[in-house]
Every structure is written in structure tokens, then in C-alpha cells.
Amino acid sequence: MTIQIKKINFKHSFIFFLFCNIISLPFIKTYNLNISPLVCLVLILIIGVSHGSLDHIKGKKLLKIFQINNIVTFYISYFLLALTVIILWILLPTVILLTFLIVASFHFGKEDTQFLIADNSYLNQFLFFLKGSLVIIAPLYFNFNETVAIFKLLLINNESFYQSLNIIENNNFLIIGIALSTFSSIYLFFQKFELKKFTIFFDYFSIIIINIYFSPLVAFTIYFCFLHSIRHSISLMTELDQESLRNGLFVFIKKAIPLTILTSVFCLVGLYFLNINYNFDSAILKLIFIGLASLTFPHILLEYLIEKNEK
């Protein structure tokens, strides 16, 4: 199955790389595409969120390891952890944002690369973090002011935080961060080299391209939906049916629909209440990033617990 995953993900990365180049062509950019935050939200709800919509199946697997028979235990724990993240974001927005960015960097780097890397050493774990940090650093480097504006919408009112960001930008720390991410990609590429590892560079240049030509929100949506989420979903499809990816796709969609719909309903309710106090676009931005953070932490914790206990 590992060989199949590498082959599929290589093709997926190449197609995504071509897609990023095509949508960034000058004759397309002359139309001055203004992609609404609502479009980003819809894409994230349909494609992005669905890659974690089989967590209840993994939850059953984890409960079996812990010899717990009641699935309600998983649902309650997952919901309470997500709710805790939202509450902590309201109380300690700067701390939770920084924690989220660090955790997300590692998560993106690992899930986008680990199918190519057999060795799960501490060095490789750190390289995954550096590689995934490109998703966070690139928008700051190419669209600093727009990214800072998003932070301000996310309840971050800490002036020392923004002063630190200005120091980072003015002293070329962002380019150093991109250089370190580049080095990690090169190192992982040459580690037990094989041709399918060109996937790493297809992903690297795709992230750079979309952040050069698009706003931080749009660039993140393109990456999160069409690279990260689809790649994770492909791995789930192959787990559901190792013989037929097409059949795995149908099974995945069938199993993913219930929680995807439930999550979408919660998001729409949240959007309704946020729109009372904020304009529509600002409400969507808060919903996307704070909502994703609340789902990311339990999702990553679940993946970690299963991986640890399986070992």
C-alpha cells in the first residue's frame, strides 16, 4: 500500500503544482479575481473539514485499544476539547494562536511528507516542523500587512505581539525561516532518495506560488483544501479499500457525509451569531481560523494517541 500511496500522491502533487501555475498566469490575473471569504469557507467546509470527518472511526479504534465500549465517550471528549480550544482562544488569544501555528506547522509538514519517510526519528520530526512552517511563514513574508490584519481580526490585541512581528520582518527573520524550511525539504528529499520524492518540491513551489499571487486567506484555502486535505483523504480511501481507490472514494464519501454536515451546521450557527457583532467577511475569517483550530487540536491528538498505542 505504501508504494501505491507514493505513486498516487506524486501524481496529485504534480497536478496541484500545474494547477497553481495555471491560476497564477498573467492572463488569468488580469481579471483581478476577487475571491470572497464565503467561497473559501464553503470550500473548507466541503473539502477541508471532510478529511477529518472519519475521526469517529479512528475514535472507535482508540476506544478499543483502551478497552472502552461506549462511543459516546469519544464524541463527548472530542466536543469538549474543541470547545475548550474556543474558550481558551477567547481568554488567551495570543498564546493559543502561537500554539496553533506551531502545532499546525508540524501537522502540515508531517502529514504531507511522512508517506515518503520511513524513519520517524526526532530529527525527521523537527524537519517536518520546519517544512510545514512554510505554510505559516510564506503569507507573512509575501503579504505581511494582510496577514497581520487577519491576526487582528482573530482577537489578537497584544501590541507587544505585533511589535515582535515587525522586528521579525525588519530583521529578515522571515527569509531565514523560509531558508530553513527550504533546507528541510532538500534534506528530506535526498534522504534515501527516490524519484517519487520530487513530491516534496512540487509541494514547496506550489505553496510559494500561491502565496506570491494570492491573499493569505485564498492561498491557505487552496493549500488546505486541494493539497493537504485531499492528500489525507487519499490515505483514508486506501485504508478503506486497499484494492480499489474508486471504491474507497465512494465509501469515504458515504462515511464522511454525516460529520461533515454536522460540522457545517455548527459553523453556520456560529456564523449567524458572529455576524451580529462583526461584518460578514470578518465573521467568516474568525469562523474559519478559530473553528479550524478547535478541530485541529482534537484531530491531531487522536492521530498521536493511535500512532503511539499502535507502536
Element (H, E) at 174: helix 173-190
User: Average pLDDT, stretch 34-62?
Assistant: 85
Question: Residue 177's pLDDT band (boundaries 50, 70, 90)?
Answer: very high
How does pLDDT run across 185-223, given as a tens digit for each residue? 999 999 888 888 999 999 999 999 999 989 999 999 999
66-87 as b/e: b if 16+ CB within 10 A: eeeeeeeebeebbeebbeebee
Comparing 112-126, 155-169, 269-283, the range with the smallest average pLDDT is: 155-169
The answer on pLDDT for 27 being more than 60 is no
Q: What percent of the chain has pLDDT over 70?
A: 95
User: Average pLDDT, stretch 34-56?
Assistant: 85
Joined together, the cell numbers standing for residue 95 give: 498564546
Please report the pLDDT score of residue 2 as a whole number. 66
Please report the pLDDT score of residue 126 as a whole number. 96
How far apart (Å, rounded) are the C-alpha atoms in residues 203 and 209? 10
Please report the pLDDT score of residue 241 as a whole number. 81
Q: Is 92 helix (H, G, I), strand (E, B) or coil?
A: coil
The answer on pLDDT for 264 being more than 60 is yes
How does pLDDT run across 68-99, given as a tens digit for each residue? 888 888 889 999 999 999 999 989 999 999 99
Cβ proximity of 92 and 290 under 8 Å? no
How far apart (Å, rounded) are the C-alpha atoms in residues 163 and 30? 35
Q: Which of 115-124, 204-213, 228-237 has the highest mean pLDDT?
A: 204-213
What pTM did the predictor assign? 0.91
Distances (CA, A) of 174 to 60, 124, 180, 207, 296: 42, 22, 10, 15, 25
Cβ proximity of 184 and 117 under 8 Å? no
Burial of 33 (0-12, 13-18, 19+ CB in 10 A): exposed
How far apart (Å, rounded) are the C-alpha atoms in residues 237 and 200? 21
Residue 201 DSSP one-character state: H
